[in-house]
Amino acid sequence: MAHRPALYRRLAATAVVLGLLLTLHRSATSTTPAGHSARGPAVTHVATAPGSRTALSGYRIQSTAKVSDPPAVVSSPGYPATGWQPAGPRSTVLGALLANGTYADPFYSTNLQKIPAADFDVPWWYRSDFTVADTAGPLPPGGGQEGRTYLDFSGVISAADVYVNGSQIATGSAVAGAYTHHELDITALVKAGTNTVAFRVQPNDPDKNLTMGWIDWLQPPPDENMGIVRDVLVRRGGPVALRDTHAVTKLAVPSLSSAEVTVKAQARNDSSHPVTATVSGTLGTSTFSQEVTLAAHQTKSVVFAPAAYPQLRLQAPRVWWPASMGEQPLYDLDMTATVTGTVSDTAHETFGIRDVKAPLNSDGARQYSINGRPLLIKGGGWSPDEFLRWDRTYVADRLKYALDLGLNTIRLEGHIEPDEFFDLADRHGLLTLPGWECCDKWEGNNNGGEPGDRWTDADYPVAKASMAAEAARLRNHPSVISFLIGSDFAPDAKTEKNYIDALKETDWSTPVVAAASAKSSPISGSSGMKMTGPYDWVPPNYWYAKREGGATGFNSETSAGPDIPTLDSLRRMMSPAELDTLWRNPSAKQYHRSPSSTFSTLKLYNNALSGRYGAPTSLDDYVRKAQLAQYENVRAQFESYGRNATDSSKPSTGVVYWMFNSGWTSLHWQLLDRYLDQGGAYFGAKKANEPLHVQYSYDSRSVVLVNNRRASASGLTARVTLFNTDGTEKYDRTASGLTVAGDGAKTTALTLPSSVAGLSTTYLAKLVLTDSTGKELSRNVYWLSTKADVLDWDNTDWYYTPTTAYSDLKGLGSMAKAALSTTAKTTTGADGTSTTTVTVRNSGTGKTPALLTDVHLVNGDGVPVLPVQWSDNQVSLWPGESTTLTAAYRTADLHGSAPRLRISGWNTPTTTVSAR
């Protein structure tokens, strides 16, 4: 917005008069202490240091349907805001109402459906007060050293008119789009003492606004996430502002012996007279500076390149790696702008040094490498909380779970999280693939858009501004390895040019991908990815075919669909009547699955569960069979992609499990549930992605070793034993002296015969990998059938391939009960964490193994202690065998209770033991 001092002075004078009138009115009608809104957050006290960024501490919000006062009154200091609701600093409207107890738990039953959507069809006011010590800012007045105050924000959904102290400073047409960044100079309006900022936030429609939508992931929130979901900052500084500070790095590959760092910034003179500023910086022990002369209101780029500043040529740089490949060192860049020796502004950035490449291989698939080493992308699709509530601990817990599963990447289709998310990803060594979402306004101009989603002339600058803002925010995060400028479809030529121009202008250095599907665009070219599904149930052997969604190329989103949570979670999210329907009626619509008619039921999944394992006889039996089915299917998906990664023909290059988690209480698309409980899908993925792994191939019956570590491994022995379900051994083979290279390499140990005499229709395969000393390195147990699942490839739909005949795994139901004995002990650390160690032994005297034994850490009331990280779980043990497992967790999550362990399994009774 253009700077108009005369206009601002008139508006400020009007605001002062309104403020005085409102103060008199307020003193007569309200007993709320000065400086606070009724029941609202405390006034934000703005720091005065140059370069300070103070986030508003919260808001009072109200529907415009209940506010008759004009905006100039609502946005002036002293306005009473009687009956308004408190909201946090990042909050959708519904998020605030939920926090205030307006509605019942939206994660339970159909409570979400009962929230009246009509309440959110009108704009809502967001109002917040802040104080500044003086109007001159952090620098002394006089001599041209005036201070400045700015309002800095993004994350408005969908748009907002913005007011400060009774004056409108921006319109909804200018502040539009969830990702656009805005900096408004409010110096002329701000006064010493209390000031007010107010946003009149417009309703959101993801099909009409470039914001955020939920597609078919979950039942959408009735407010469509309208609100302010990122921090609104009040920034202070002097006449020269430093903006757009960042580092551009170039790493010597493959030697990694040196790196060049180019530091860039924008120096902006916000005063009405010429200024000479000194811009200086520090990077580690290196310092650098230069003088910049700026005309009134001029902006210049300031560049510190290694050619002129050799101290920015780093020898033996600390290189950033994904967690599975190395360490995650980060560098701090600090910049300062001074005018006549006085600090005017400061900036701080953190960055990592790493090199990402992602060319297309000979099959046209995108193949990532990092720092010169090949990388199979093993990822999951991310969902934020449905109401976009930010909880750093909750997010960190989920990212730690991703690493525990052996994943290296998180894909964010839209819903691009706040800065702290990427800070956490940087520090944990988890790669990210952010990008725009499908199926709403973002792809409205592409060949997949509905006519009502088509862009108008006003949408193009919003899209470009969104790209520029997100690129500037994400470019220095080493965890970010690409941006997907399309999802199901690539952008059209005009849109793509806007995106690419914005990316170039922000020095974006990692690959730009046209789409998450097999699409091409004029500038970026072929995406090198596929989006062939499936999204609903398919059998484990599906993943081994090098077609459709099978293990070849880069599959950007895929899974066998439904994931039934643990019984603990199901009882937290569904009513008794809904739980009864869940297992009794296979074709019933399930509210907790999806609003999509395609995914509204569990019919395909339930038919397969009954066809393969036998019809469920109770809710407990249904959940028990579901965990077994999900374990084998998720394991097969990741194992197939891992095995095929080094194939000479049509290798697999990446797979993103759809999805990693859900933002709601869901029955599909999740490796872990909303409550962070872990079932078969979780431990199937963890098993498949272990660092050194022995696995069975459903297509060729081969036993393969996959080494995800850097170093090679030798002197290995692989043993495979086949058993009938009664525990009778029918086949046993060993391969010794095996060697397997590192970085995802594989070697075939042996191949099972096509038939084995005396093998029952349902049978078990136990695979064990040991080192030269006999130490067990990997154990993997499969339940298989002599009758294969048969796929009807010719009738493949976009979301699944039909199965015309099922494997017969019903023999598992006749397995004898296995007896288990356990011993457990807990130690508590000074860091607030505890570790419980449990040894589980199959103490049976017969031949029957204990299949898929699950250990749950619970408190004294039997409630799971979550989150928890197990060294292993859902293990299978033959008589006389034992295993020792560890569980790490926060001591406080016991809530004062002594730890206990609940042990259950496919063919073992459920028992609970002390773990003191």
**599 Cα distance to chain centroid:** 22
Q: In what order do the strands lie in the sheet with 409-413?
A: 512-513, 483-484, 431-435, 409-413, 377-381, 652-657, 553-558
CA distance 599 to 597: 5
Burial status of residue 675 (CB atoms within 10 A of its CB: 0-12, 13-18, 19 or more): middle
From residue 791, how far is each of 542, 552, 626, 803 by CA, in Å? 7, 18, 21, 4
Q: Under DSSP, is residue 465 helix (H, G, I), strand (E, B) or coil? A: helix
Active site residue 557: yes
Comparing C-alpha atoms, which of 893, 914, 890, 892 is closest to residue 902? Answer: 914
> In angstroms, how far is the first alpha carbon of the chain from the final one?
64
**490 Cα distance to chain centroid:** 22
From residue 869, how far is each of 397, 452, 515, 713, 885 by CA, in Å? 10, 46, 35, 26, 10
Q: Under DSSP, is residue 670 helix (H, G, I), strand (E, B) or coil? A: coil
Rounded to the nearest 5°, which phi and psi values hold at 524?
Answer: -75, -20
Which among 224, 349, 557, 677 is annotated as catalytic? 557
Comparing C-alpha atoms, which of 649, 744, 741, 650 is closest to residue 689? Answer: 744
The strand pair at 483-484 and 512-513 is best described as parallel
Q: What is the 3-state secondary structure (H, E, C) of 267-325?
A: EEECCCCCEEEEEEEEECCEEEEEEEEECCCCEEEEEECCCCCHHHEEECCCECCCCCC
Residue pair 444/498 in contact (Cβ under 8 Å)? The answer is no
Active site residue 332: no
Q: Under DSSP, is residue 495 helix (H, G, I), strand (E, B) or coil? A: helix
What is the DSSP annotation of 359-414? -B-TTS-B--EETTEE--EEEEE----TT----HHHHHHHHHHHHHTT--EEEEES
Tokens of residue 103, six digits: 């509605």
Alpha helices in 208-268 (DSSP H): none
Within 10 Å of residue 342's Cβ, how many Cβ atoms? Answer: 14
Length of the chain: 916
Which among 161, 488, 568, 893 is annotated as catalytic? 488
Rounded to the nearest 5°, which phi and psi values hold at 643?
Answer: -65, -40
Comparing C-alpha atoms, which of 59, 64, 228 is closest to residue 154? Answer: 228
CA distance 245 to 475: 11
Comparing C-alpha atoms, which of 554, 550, 561 is closest to residue 636? Answer: 550
CA distance 867 to 396: 11
- H/E stretch holding 768 reads strand 762-770
Comparing C-alpha atoms, which of 313, 305, 308, 251 is closest to residue 284? Answer: 313
CA distance 399 to 382: 10
Tokens of residue 885, six digits: 């497992």
Rounded to the nearest 5°, which phi and psi values hold at 152?
Answer: -130, 125
Residue pair 406/708 in contact (Cβ under 8 Å)? The answer is yes
Comparing C-alpha atoms, which of 491, 489, 490, 471 is closest to residue 480? Answer: 471
Comparing C-alpha atoms, which of 680, 679, 678, 674 is closest to residue 662? Answer: 674
Within 10 Å of residue 669's Cβ, how many Cβ atoms? Answer: 28
Catalytic residues: 488, 557
